[in-house]
Structure 1
């Protein structure tokens, strides 16, 4: 195949977007964001294309997220590249959500962070027996972005709060339960589905795509988040991270202890930013409003120390032992997101 990081191709009436950085689990760069956008423009104006499919090359996954090394280096050097990447990525996320043709995503294998952004806003989202989905950003001093706060804020009960704060990874059944995906099928059937989509007539719409998917879809096994829903709702309903911690301590169950240990490893500042964004998302009118708020919050991340320390510990030195500043929830401050957003450039006019 081509060496391009995103391969744009056509199979029958199906427009294909192949993320093509398999050695990096297809982590997104600014060039890739622009190529995806280019492909969407081509397919939108082509009457012979009925639907669009995004997939990841290689065996490991659709996309592990944004290229955080590039973002780290840009932030350290204070170049505009990181802000430019997030701006164009978030605009792409909104475009996918509003795309006029069926947008199908194979969320096979690792689908995290930016990988969620190019898949979970689509009209037809498919997970498999190999799916591992997460918004793990609090572990690197960041927050769930790419419109993740919109999805998490609309999840049942406090499931979205739990996922966003803990960065928990989960499989197909939980992805559907939490609102990230629509259908499940074994990975071995994805080729059959792509062929079926390619064989649809050029004037096919969402109902025909639905029928093609349902002909191969199955019930997703292995839900775990739903089993802990009562405990999650009870603990994560609080509006401060400190109160959530206290509620988990009071529960004292194995699940609560495991969750406390996980939260204890995250950036305290990121936890407070994330909870604020998730609560604000519940009152937002649309995805764009959440993306604008997330874009404003990236400025906090670039100015503070935790993102750089989180990336260092996770992917540069790989010691898995970040030193957060501040180190405790008591010292970390919850940002005034309203004032922050009002003072920041917006991506959308609405």
Structure 2
């Protein structure tokens, strides 16, 4: 009997109160999200929101290496390569609509929801984390939105939460830069850092706390509990490269055009960290670079629901474009790390093709029309 890909349990505390636990349980794939995992987690969060016994929810990943490495892009590649385009559109739309609906639920969750983001947190994992009321990182955390490496773009609401970071968010999206815990705190993608070994102690304190079943009061209580635990045993964190390079990042990513940013990044002769960012930007899909820039321009004022609706069309269309299947092949299937992008340069990207990705590929009403 195979274990469930998402496991649910409860810690029973005082006066019949419960702390609900959701564990992403696919450690062999670094807890990469499948449609079954997304739908199962979304349904359970909905049930817990209406359960008077549940005071708060904790979401974490099994295996010790990752919270969540994102969506299962090998599976998405298979869907995208279906020769029946209508069937491919339907399957991709179903996955992304379910994933974005889950992300939206987390952002709007009526009870405290804590994400324990130790280890790898990439792509769709950051989508789960970003909207949680309490986001905990550890000395093992490694966050990234590396979609440019596989011909995609940062989705799962990133067109909203990265756009709010201005030039810094643009830099993160276009370079796929890996962030440590201090970086995540610096750019407000995390709220508190704890030692990775503190998870059992955290659960014990959550179970022993007195919750009031009042969202504001319980969130404040959780704030206090996390602050106290961090003060008792502060983690040893590597310094934030984002903070150390803040001026350089603004000088690079604060330009008004993508060409100017690319030129500034190419001309930057900083340390190894900036050199790695420059190399990753240059190696990424030119079409993804152009798309990421356009998303920053066109969705800069979008609210969360509007961003997710736009992303649904963008993600389906981008998965069907050449560079996604080729990027996943090069990075994760054949692993030759030599993607053959089409087009191969930013100058050759057709703006009309990028603009067309914002158009709905499905017939009928928008699958996320009800999000608010």
TM category, shorter:
over 0.9
Residue in 1 that maps onto 2:347 = 330
The answer to whether 1:183 aligns with 2:168 is: no
Residue in 1 that maps onto 2:227 = 214
Segments of 5+ residues of structure 2 without an aligned counterpart are 13-17
CA change 1:331–1:144 in 2 (3 A) is: same
Residue in 1 that maps onto 2:281 = 263
Deviation at 1:69, TM superposition (A): 0.9
CA change 1:251–1:181 in 2 (3 A) is: same
Whether contact under 8 Å (1:273, 1:335) holds in the other structure is no
Whether contact under 8 Å (2:107, 2:132) holds in the other structure is yes
Deviation at 1:337, TM superposition (A): 7.4
2:36 aligned residue (31, 36, 40): 31
1:46 aligned residue (40, 43, 51): 51
Segments of 5+ residues of structure 1 without an aligned counterpart are none
Deviation at 1:297, TM superposition (A): 0.8
Residue in 2 that maps onto 1:136 = 146
Q: Deviations over 1:330-349 (max 9, x none)?
A: 00134687875465635134
Residue in 1 that maps onto 2:19 = 14
Q: Deviations over 1:3-59 (max 9, x none)?
A: 000011111221110000011111000100111112112211111111000010002
Residue in 2 that maps onto 1:171 = 180
- The more displaced of 248-257 and 146-155 is 248-257
The number of equivalent residue pairs is 348
Compute the TM-score of the two structures, normalised by the length of structure 2: 0.88
Q: Deviations over 1:178-214 (max 9, x none)?
A: 2211100110112111221122234251111111111
Compute the TM-score of the two structures, normalised by the length of structure 1: 0.94
Deviation at 1:245, TM superposition (A): 1.2
Whether contact under 8 Å (2:92, 2:316) holds in the other structure is no
The answer to whether 1:192 aligns with 2:201 is: yes
Q: Deviations over 1:269-306 (max 9, x none)?
A: 0011112112333212x211111111121133133100
Q: Distance in 1 between matches of 2:174 and 2:259?
A: 12
Residue in 2 that maps onto 1:289 = 306
CA RMSD of aligned residues (A): 2.0
Whether contact under 8 Å (1:15, 1:53) holds in the other structure is yes
CA change 1:302–1:250 in 2 (3 A) is: closer
Whether contact under 8 Å (1:277, 1:294) holds in the other structure is no
